[in-house]
């Protein structure tokens, strides 16, 4: 038998079962290691976004910036995230998830270090755009990559847990802001954000490529090798003998060509694309319209700058149980109920936060908003990659995130313009309405993906 005959045989007997082989693996330390690797990258991203959130208040005071220029700096990062998410998703579907993960992480770390050297609003805007380019490119690729490794019975839970690392990153950023910025200034906070660059080299050694992606590109030998390694490690760790495979050619995607961006607008993906774009726009606008301005909103509520940082640390803490509650519910009651209920509760809490007139209810509703909103984020990250096949998963995910970033671009700038006119009450009401829009799109037009095979 020739070499080409051997590869063809492998394609028809092994490659077409990659999805089935991955879904039959028991959850073990192998999957938790992948979660930790991906999650640390997520944590570093959140640190950066969190740092700029806290830096904006200090920067506005030191440089004596009006609110519209503060909003422009915040929007620059969102513009970079728009470009990064759109381009990286398409590139990842053609050239692989792992490569894009490494490069986007390196770009955003270096750009964060450059932010520490910024000397004017213009230079800060440029550097924040570069940060967003790397950050926006990484997030949809990482979520797609992890979802392609985890068995379907735990897939959504693990992607929500991946999102929970965002809360840890924000919490670390809040602690840095509370202790570092008042004592040493905002430049040191940015310099600390450069540290994750070393993580790139860990990723390069420890992270395998997605075997589902290898299969979708027709590289059955690599797909089989990675999957076989996962199977051997899983059996060695758990001691569980894997059940025999039932051959089903429909599992394979090896002979299917890449579909590209335009396929997102064709049957059967058009409905998914429209729902996801509305969902991501409302979620991102509402989130960044509130959290980028959170220290400033607290200052306008009567707290000092240092005190507002301390309160934001406490508000940020409630993101963590929010994620874990969503992770506990998403495989039990489904994706749609979690997304719709958590976004609705986020909207109610945001409205009440905007209209609270004393310290105790103000902090209670701010924490509730943080709890439900970040739980919703975790569910949305789990839901999005399940609506597209492997060939266009990163493209579809990245495009939805990119459209959402338009909301992120507009939110800091729009809030900066509206805040002097409509105040905290109006700003929080506006963003609550965006949360309702996002949840309504899923509730009315979204499909449930609980228990479905990823392909």
Rounded Cα–Cα distance for residues 154 and 332 (Å): 10
Q: Are 335 and 382 in contact (CB under 8 A)?
A: yes
- Note the pTM of the prediction, 2 decimals: 0.79
- Is residue 139 over pLDDT 90? no
Q: Please state, in angstroms and as integers, the Cα–Cα distance from residue 262 to each residue in 115, 392, 396, following that order.
A: 36, 10, 10
- Is residue 1 over pLDDT 60? no
User: What's the length of the chain?
Assistant: 455
> For residue range 159-181, what is the model confidence (pLDDT) as tens digits?
899 888 888 887 888 788 778 87
Weakest mean pLDDT among 68-77, 147-156, 223-232: 68-77
pLDDT of residue 14: 43
- Is residue 86 over pLDDT 80? yes
Weakest mean pLDDT among 150-159, 301-310, 326-335, 369-378: 301-310
Token couple for 127? 């550097």
User: Domain 22-240+258-445 belongs to what topology?
Assistant: Growth Hormone; Chain: A; (1.20.1250)
Rounded Cα–Cα distance for residues 309 and 306 (Å): 5
Burial of 36 (0-12, 13-18, 19+ CB in 10 A): middle
Percent of the chain that is helix, strand, coil (3-state, to 5) = 80, 0, 20
Residue 66 three-state SS = coil
Weakest mean pLDDT among 18-27, 112-121, 307-316: 307-316
- Is residue 8 over pLDDT 50? no
Q: Please state, in angstroms and as integers, the Cα–Cα distance from residue 213 to each residue in 111, 276, 363, following that order.
A: 29, 22, 45
Q: Are 71 and 416 in contact (CB under 8 A)?
A: yes
pLDDT of residue 250: 46
pLDDT of residue 348: 97
- Is residue 96 over pLDDT 80? yes
Q: Are 307 and 359 in contact (CB under 8 A)?
A: no
Weakest mean pLDDT among 252-256, 399-403, 450-454: 252-256
> For residue range 15-38, what is the model confidence (pLDDT) as tens digits?
347 888 888 888 887 788 888 888
Q: Are 367 and 314 in contact (CB under 8 A)?
A: yes
Among 412, 124, 395, CA closest to 296: 412
Hey, which of 143-147, 235-239, 299-303, 323-327 has the most confident mean pLDDT? 323-327
Mean pLDDT of the chain: 81
Weakest mean pLDDT among 98-102, 247-251, 331-335, 377-381: 247-251
pLDDT of residue 226: 86
**CA torsion 208→245→454→143, rounded to 10°?**
-20
Weakest mean pLDDT among 184-193, 225-234, 303-312, 404-413: 303-312
> For residue range 225-270, what is the model confidence (pLDDT) as tens digits?
888 888 887 766 666 666 666 555 444 444 445 457 778 888 888 9
Rounded Cα–Cα distance for residues 349 and 282 (Å): 16
Banded model confidence at residue 343, pLDDT cuts 50, 70, 90: very high
Weakest mean pLDDT among 64-68, 258-262, 357-361: 258-262
**Cα-Cα-Cα-Cα dihedral sign, residues 122, 125, 130, 133:** negative
DSSP state of 153: T
Task: Decide which of 45 and 377 is more confident.
Answer: 377
Task: Decide which of 23 and 306 is more confident.
Answer: 23
Rounded Cα–Cα distance for residues 375 and 323 (Å): 4
Weakest mean pLDDT among 42-56, 97-111, 281-295, 389-403: 42-56
Please give the average per-residue pLDDT across 42-61, as a whole number: 79
Q: Are 353 and 407 in contact (CB under 8 A)?
A: no
Please give the average per-residue pLDDT across 190-200, as a whole number: 73
- Is residue 273 over pLDDT 80? yes
- Give me the DSSP letters along 173-205: HHHHHHHTHHHH-HHHHHHHTTGGGGHHHHHHH
Token couple for 307? 């005190």
């Amino acid at each position: 038998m020739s070499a080409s005959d051997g590869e063809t045989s492998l394609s028809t007997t092994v490659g077409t079962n990659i999805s089935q082989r991955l879904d039959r693996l028991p959850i073990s330390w192998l999957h938790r290691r992948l979660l930790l690797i991906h999650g640390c990258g997520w944590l570093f991203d959140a640190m950066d976004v969190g740092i700029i959130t806290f830096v904006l208040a200090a920067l506005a005071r030191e440089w004596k910036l009006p609110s519209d220029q503060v909003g422009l700096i915040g929007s620059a990062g969102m513009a970079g995230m728009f470009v990064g998410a759109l381009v990286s998703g398409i590139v990842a579907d053609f050239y692989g998830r792992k490569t894009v993960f490494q490069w986007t992480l390196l770009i955003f770390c270096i750009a964060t270090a450059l932010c520490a050297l910024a000397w004017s609003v213009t230079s800060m805007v440029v550097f924040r755009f570069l940060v967003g380019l790397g950050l926006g490119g990484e997030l949809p690729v990482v979520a797609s990559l992890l979802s392609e490794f985890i068995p379907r019975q735990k897939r959504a839970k693990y992607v929500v847990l991946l999102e929970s690392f965002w809360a840890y990153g924000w919490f670390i950023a809040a602690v840095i802001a509370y202790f570092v910025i008042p004592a040493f200034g905002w430049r040191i906070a940015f310099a600390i954000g450069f540290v994750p660059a070393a993580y790139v080299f860990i990723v390069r050694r420890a992270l395998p490529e997605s075997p589902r992606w290898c299969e979708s590109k027709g590289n059955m030998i690599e797909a089989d090798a990675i999957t076989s390694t996962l199977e051997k490690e899983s059996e060695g760790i758990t001691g569980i003998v894997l059940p025999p495979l039932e051959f089903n050619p429909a599992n394979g995607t090896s002979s299917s060509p890449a579909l590209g961006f335009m396929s997102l607008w064709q049957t059967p993906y058009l409905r998914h694309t429209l729902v996801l774009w509305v969902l991501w726009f409302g979620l991102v606008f509402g989130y960044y319209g509130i959290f980028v301005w959170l220290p400033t909103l607290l200052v306008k509520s009567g707290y000092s700058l240092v005190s507002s940082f301390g309160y934001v640390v406490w508000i940020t803490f409630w993101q963590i149980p929010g994620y874990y509650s969503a992770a506990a519910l998403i495989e039990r009651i489904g994706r749609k109920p979690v997304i719709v209920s958590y976004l609705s509760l986020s909207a109610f809490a945001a409205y009440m936060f905007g209209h609270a007139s004393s310290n105790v209810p103000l902090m209670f509703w701010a924490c509730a908003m943080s709890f439900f909103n970040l739980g919703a984020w975790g569910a949305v990250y789990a839901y999005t990659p399940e609506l597209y096949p492997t060939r266009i998963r990163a493209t579809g995910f990245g495009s939805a995130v990119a459209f959402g970033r338009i909301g992120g671009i507009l939110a800091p700038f729009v809030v900066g313009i509206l805040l002097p006119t409509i105040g905290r009450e109006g700003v929080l009401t506006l963003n609550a309405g965006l949360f309702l829009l996002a949840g309504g799109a899923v509730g009315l037009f979204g499909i449930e993906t609980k228990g479905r095979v990823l392909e």
